[in-house]
Amino acid sequence: MTCGLTPLTVSTLLSGLRSEPPLVQCLTNTVVTNFTANVLLALGAAPAMTDIPGEAGPFARLASGVLINLGTPHAEQRTAMLEAANAANDAGTPWVLDPVAVGSLPVRTALAAELLELRPTAIRANASEVMALAGLGAGGRGVDATDTAEDALPAAALLAQKYGSIVAVSGPTDVITDGVSTVRISNGDALLTRVTGGGCALGAVTAAFLAVADGAVADDGADIRGRLAAVAAATAVYTLAAELAARQAAGPGSFVPAFLDALANLAAEDIDAKLVAA
C-alpha cells in the first residue's frame, strides 16, 4: 500500500526536532565522523561519537537516538555496537542500523546478522545492501549499489515484517516501508553521491527524527504516523536540502558547505513547495 507523506507532517517533525534537540549517539565509520557530526549540528540535533566498549552501552541509555553504521567495523567498535544496541533496546531508545557494504565482506555481514536479531528500529541502506541483508542478494560493489530501490522493495518489506523495523532504501527515488505501507520520495541530487558520508550521515539524521517520532504530528490528512513518518521525514528533509544546495554549488567541494547551510535554513515553505512524495 502506497501512503502519502504531506509537507505539514515533515515540517511538524522538523520543528519538533529543532525545538527540543535530540542527542544522537553515532557509532559510525572513521571516514565520515566529522561530516556526520556537522550534519546533525546543522539540522539542529546534538551529536556524540561515543563508540568504545564500557561507554557505548551506558550512553545509549541516555541518548535520544542511536546510529550503528558498519562502515569500518574494527574489533573494539563491533563490541561497542552490540553493547549499544542491547542497551538501546533496554532503555527504549530508537536505533538505526546502516549495514554498509554488507554481503560480500564476511566480518560486517556476520555482525549485521547479530544486530538484526536485536531488531533495529530502522534500517537505512542502499538497494544492494538491503537485498543482501535479507538474504536475497550478494551485495553491491563496495558501498555502491548495483540494484535499484524498487528492486529491493520485496527484500525491504521482508526485513520490516520479520524484524519490526522501518526500512529505508536509498536511490534516485527513495523507498521507505514498514512492510505494509510504502512511501516514495523523489527529491535529492546526484552530488550527494560524490561526497564522503552522503549516505552515512542520513542514518544519523534518521535516528534524530526517530527521537521525535512520538511527538505531535498535525492532523493534516496524512496516512502515516509514528516511526514510518519519522523515517520518511528524515529522508525528505535530507534530500530536499541536497536539492537546494546543488542549485548553488559548482561541484562537490562547494556542495558540502551549501548542504550544511541548506539543512540549517530549510523552512516550511521550502518543504511545501518542493517535496515530491507519494
CATH number of the domain residue 17 falls in = 3.40.1190.20
Q: Is residue 4 scored above 90 in pLDDT? A: no
**Total domains present in the chain:** 1
Percent of the chain with pLDDT over 70: 91
Could you tell me if residue 99 is inside a domain?
yes
Work out whether strand 65-69 and strand 46-48 pair parallel, antiparallel, or are unpaired.
unpaired
Contact assessment for residue 97 and residue 122, using Cβ atoms and an 8 Å cutoff: yes
Binding site annotation covers 131? Answer: no
Could you tell me if residue 2 is inside a domain?
no
Residue 31 to residue 172: CA distance in whole angstroms: 24
Q: Which residue has the higher pLDDT, 269 or 224?
A: 269
Q: Which pLDDT score is estimated for 222? A: 44
Band of residue 220 on the pLDDT scale cut at 50, 70, 90: very low
pTM for the model: 0.94
Band of residue 144 on the pLDDT scale cut at 50, 70, 90: low
Q: Which pLDDT score is estimated for 207? A: 98
Q: Is residue 215 scored above 60 in pLDDT? A: no
Q: Is residue 276 scored above 70 in pLDDT? A: yes
124: its cell numbers: 537505512
Could you tell me if residue 194 is inside a domain?
yes
Q: Is residue 140 scored above 60 in pLDDT? A: no
Q: Which pLDDT score is estimated for 104? A: 81
Backbone torsion region of residue 176, taken as left when φ is above 0, otherwise alpha when ψ lies between -120 and 50, otherwise beta: beta
When mean pLDDT is compared across 2-16, 121-135, 153-167, the lowest value belongs to 2-16
Task: List, for residues 98-124, the tens digit of each pLDDT value.
Answer: 999 998 899 999 999 999 999 999 999
60: its cell numbers: 545509549
Q: Is residue 145 scored above 80 in pLDDT? A: no
Percent of the chain with pLDDT over 90: 87
Contact assessment for residue 236 and residue 186, using Cβ atoms and an 8 Å cutoff: no
Could you tell me if residue 150 is inside a domain?
yes
In Å, the largest CA–CA distance within the chain is 47
Band of residue 2 on the pLDDT scale cut at 50, 70, 90: low
Could you tell me if residue 116 is inside a domain?
yes
Contact assessment for residue 51 and residue 74, using Cβ atoms and an 8 Å cutoff: no
Q: 104 lies in which domain range? A: 7-274
Could you tell me if residue 54 is inside a domain?
yes
Could you tell me if residue 94 is inside a domain?
yes
Binding site annotation covers 108? Answer: no
Task: List, for residues 152-204, the tens digit of each pLDDT value.
Answer: 999 999 999 999 999 999 999 999 999 999 999 999 999 999 999 999 999 99
Sign (positive or negative) of CA dihedral 209, 210, 211, 214: positive
Binding site annotation covers 15? Answer: no
Could you tell me if residue 1 is inside a domain?
no
Q: Which pLDDT score is estimated for 147? A: 75
Say what angle helices 226-246 and 7-19 make with each other, to 10 degrees: 90
Binding site annotation covers 1? Answer: no
